[in-house]
Amino acid sequence: MSETTTILPSTTTSVLTTTTITTTTTTTATASLTTTTATTTTTTITTTTAVTVSTTATTTSTTITTTTTEVTSLTTTTTTTTTTTQQLEWINTGSMIQARTGHIAFVLENGKVLVTGGQSGDRLNSTELYDPSIGMWTSTGSMIDARSDFAASILTNGKVLVTGGHNADGDYLNSTELYDSTTGMWTATGDLNNARFDHTASVLTNGRVLVTGGYYYDHRINSSELYDPVTEMWTTTGSLNDARSGHTASVLTNGNVLVTGGYNHNQLKSVELYDPVTEIWTTTDSMIDAREYHRASVLTNGKVLVTGGLNAHALKNCILYDPSTETWTNTTDMHHVRWGHTASVLTNGQVLVTGGSGSSYLNNAELYDPLTATWTTIAHMNHARSGHTASILTNGRVLVTAGFNDRKKDLVKLRSGEYVSLSKVEMVVNKFSIVENSCLYAAPSAEYTILLISPNQKEITNYAQRNFGEKQWQNLIDDEKFNDMIIKNVQDICKKNGIEKFETPQRIKIVNESWTPETGLVTDAFKLKRKAIELKYKDYIQQLYYEKPIHEPTKRRTSRVAPEPQPQQQPIAIETIELSNNVINKNR
């Protein structure tokens, strides 16, 4: 399957600065009383004068009195307190060379940021380096295999290991590669024992890399593997108790690995612990809520914070895992529901959450303080985005790159008043292995949407042979049972990924043609040319709406209050955020 997505050609980038907003002066008066008391002294002087002429004597008495004086002095001390309020904002920085989503980013030992792979219409093998000192991007060595939905780790020797994923042909990969930042080159290393995508890769305290779970064609897998950087070989290790994809894996402070949630027929709330010494998985306390595409962050106190995720609908509730008691507790909810977001533990221990998908694609960001268990909203990003990356730079700034964002022009309104974001649904449908590309369509004031599918030739051939014993899938293109099975798969994928019933396509048409720039149905960036597709397949569209339906939608339609318009996604580029001194700027 090749997940073709709509790409925004420009790749602007941006940085979060702080500004003093208010200064408050407070005057405090301190009274200091000083009292001086003088002692009252009375002195009597008596003088006697004898007169010889007579017998009379005169006595004079003088009294001298010293009065008491009290002196009170008042000393006033003025204390000035300045309160500074930080205004945080995202600032664009240098544009990436290639717009992308489904990529991975790492901060290298030299402080530069390596962005690798992903997709931009087709899967990419290109890689880029961001230099924070000049805010610019440069190309570096390309990977051997183009890939998206892969996992990657930065090893203790500074090299970057990428594993698995999808390639340009939609094949599932078991190949792995190493990037050496000193040479800027990629080299092949040992192959995984099992091809997989949507898995995890964690660097253990002993330097080895643990890969867990993932997806392989039509099923999730429970196998785990260990990579030894010394021998460059993979060996199988204990298997997960539950097969899963879309999960998280966190290395705890005690060296064990905590795996949470994911998907296997339904969202999971089961949790498992891997012991690198015994190489055994054991179950631990389940999460309070099942979820996939959430984020798990190991806090400085050793606890694990799980944020958001998807379970029929996007979530905003957050939970904490305590390794000492192996139990989960609720903590404060985020301000916004979200999945496909980022969660980064900052140098002060707070957690920065950015973007993701909710009722629409999000540009908001918030900070979690583990000391107070509270969330604080901060400045909005310049671009709404989901499926992006966030990297903490050595200068304390946070670099956010690429992903999908919103555009309202691809919204359609159904007869019921509900709005459908075409590209949002297409992104989900393109996860189906037989789909090379898809175009969702809604006629003016239609009751439901229909879907045109350009198939992955290899995958649909395997699908037809596996399910119908037919080597030529084209022979089944008008077979009702064949189309019913495919639309059921499509609807299951939509439900699993939080697509509402009114958004989910009710009828489909598989076309025997690849959509390339040469056909005029997509741009050079593989963005759908909707008008051209509508014109080319107008007969099919009319048939799906007004003639014999491929799949009867009546039982699936519901009446509901129209939601707020939900804009379309677009991959975009980058912005950077810089927080105040007590948030992330450790080098200031």
- Backbone φ and ψ of 307, nearest 5°: -120, 135
Contact 319, 287 (CB under 8 A): yes
Q: What is the pLDDT of residue 444?
A: 60
Most confident of 18-32, 74-88, 268-282, 411-425: 268-282
Is a pLDDT exceeding 50 seen at residue 161? yes
**To 5 degrees, how large is the angle CA 197–CA 198–CA 201?**
90
Q: Does residue 200 sit in the same domain as residue 291?
A: yes
**Phi/psi of residue 438, each to 5°?**
-145, 155
More confident residue, 241 or 513: 241
Nearest to 6 by CA among 400, 555, 568: 568
Residue 134 has pLDDT above 80, yes or no: yes
151 strand-pairing partners? 163
- 129 and 200 part of one domain: yes
Q: Which residues pair with 249 in a beta bridge?
A: 259
Select from 404, 437, 453 the last residue of a domain. Answer: 404
Q: DSSP 3-state assignment of 484?
A: helix
Looking up tokens 């533990």 gives 345
Residue 146 lies in a domain: yes
Average pLDDT over residues 517-521: 87
Whether 259 and 139 map to the same domain: the answer is: yes
> Could you tell me the pLDDT band of residue 448, with boundaries at 50, 70 and 90?
confident
Write out the DSSP string of 487-525. HHHHHHHHHHTT--TTTS--EEEE-SS---GGGTSB-TT
Left (φ > 0), alpha (ψ -120 to 50) or beta: where does 61 sit? beta
Please report whether residue 30 resides in a domain: no
**H-helix or E-strand spanning residue 540:** helix 538-546
Q: State yes or no: pLDDT of 82 exceeds 60.
A: no
- Res 171: pLDDT: 83
- Please give the pLDDT value at position 410: 66
CATH of residue 209? 2.120.10.80
Tell whether 349 and 438 lie within a shared domain. no
Q: Which of 387, 404, 421 is the last residue of a domain?
A: 404
Specify the number of domains making up the chain: 2
Whether residue 156 is found in the same domain as residue 288: yes
Residue 543 has pLDDT above 90, yes or no: no
Q: Are residues 338 and 447 in the same domain?
A: no
**Alpha carbon distance 66, 40 (integer Å):** 5
Would you call 209 exposed, middle or buried from its count of C-beta atoms within 10 A (0-12, 13-18, 19+)? buried
Please choose, from the candidates 569, 302, 253, 562, the residue with its C-alpha nearest in 3D space to the C-alpha of residue 426: 569
Identify the weakest region by mean pLDDT among 172-176, 316-320, 359-363: 359-363
User: What is the rounded average pLDDT of the residues 432-454?
Assistant: 86
Mean pLDDT of the 123-136 span: 95
pLDDT value of position 409: 52
**How confident is the model at residue 49, as a pLDDT?**
43
Does 334 have pLDDT greater than 60? yes
> Which residue has better confidence, 80 or 546?
546
On the question of pLDDT at 75 being above 80, the answer is: no
343 with 365: CB under 8 angstroms? no
Tell me phi and psi for residue 23, to 5 degrees: -125, 125
Pairwise CA distance, residues 274 & 282, whole Å: 7
User: Which residue blocks in 113-232 are alpha helix, DSSP H?
Assistant: none
- For 554, residues 6+ apart whose C-beta sits below 8 A from its C-beta are none
Higher-confidence residue of 574 and 531: namely: 531
Q: Which of 523, 545, 567 is the last residue of a domain?
A: 545
Instruction: Name the phi and psi angles at 435, rounded to 5.
Output: -95, 120
Q: Report if residue 28 sits inside a domain.
A: no
Q: Which two tokens stand for residue 496?
A: 């699993």
pLDDT higher at 527 or 220: 220
φ/ψ region of 268 (left if φ > 0, alpha if ψ in -120 to 50, else beta) reads: beta
Return the pLDDT at 546.
61
pLDDT in tens, 84-119: 444 567 898 988 999 888 899 999 999 999 999 998
- Contact, 242 vs 213, CB < 8 A? no
175 touches 188 (CB < 8 A): yes
pLDDT band at 519 (very low <50, low <70, confident <90, very high): confident
- Report how far residue 579's alpha carbon sits from residue 249's, in angstroms, rounded to the nearest whole number: 28
pTM listed for this prediction: 0.66
Asked whether residue 281 carries a pLDDT value surpassing 70, the answer given is: yes
Residue 179 reports pLDDT greater than 90: yes
Shared domain check, 375 and 415: no
Does one domain contain both 388 and 447? no
- In this structure, the answer to whether residues 376 and 470 fall within a common structural domain is no
The CATH number covering residue 434 comes to: 3.30.300.30
Where do the H-state alpha helices sit in 157-234? none
Domain membership flag for residue 50:
no
Q: How many CA atoms lie within 13 A of 384 on its CB side?
A: 16
DSSP string, 69-131: -----------------B--BEEB-PPPSS--BS-EEEE-TTS-EEEE--EESEE---EEEEE
Q: Is residue 566 pLDDT above 60, yes or no?
A: no
Most confident of 32-41, 513-522, 576-585: 513-522
Q: What share of the chain in percent tops pLDDT 70?
A: 75
Query: pLDDT tens, 402-417?
Result: 987 755 456 676 766 5
How far is 444 from 303, CA to CA, in rounded Å? 52
* Predicted local confidence at residue 231, as pLDDT: 97
Check if the beta carbon of residue 262 is closer than 8 Å to that of residue 281: no
Q: Are 512 and 457 in contact (CB under 8 A)?
A: no
User: H-helix or E-strand containing 353?
Assistant: strand 351-354
Query: 246 exposed, middle or buried (CB, 10 Å; 0-12, 13-18, 19+)?
Result: buried
pLDDT score of 28? 30
Q: What is the mean pLDDT of the chain?
A: 80
Look at 96-110, 143-157, 238-252, 563-577 and tell me which has the smallest mean pLDDT: 563-577
User: Based on the domain organization, do 292 and 158 belong to the same domain?
Assistant: yes
Pairing assessment for the beta strands 90-91 and 574-577 based on DSSP bridges: antiparallel
Q: Are both 300 and 350 inside the same structural domain? A: yes
The pair of three-digit structure tokens given for residue 582, joined into one six-digit string: 């007590």
- The more confidently predicted of residues 468 and 586 is 468
**Distance from C-alpha of 423 to C-alpha of 406, rounded to nearest angstrom:** 10
Q: Which residue type sits at 479?
A: D
Torsion angle of C-alpha atoms 375, 377, 382, 384, degrees rounded to 10: 50
Provide long-range contacts, Cβ within 8 A and 24+ apart, for 252-255.
252/298, 252/302, 252/304, 252/323, 253/298, 253/302, 253/323, 254/323, 255/204, 255/205
Report if residue 42 sits inside a domain: no
Same domain, 261 and 329: yes
Domain assignment of residue 284, given as a range: 104-404
Residue 236, pLDDT above cutoff 60 = yes
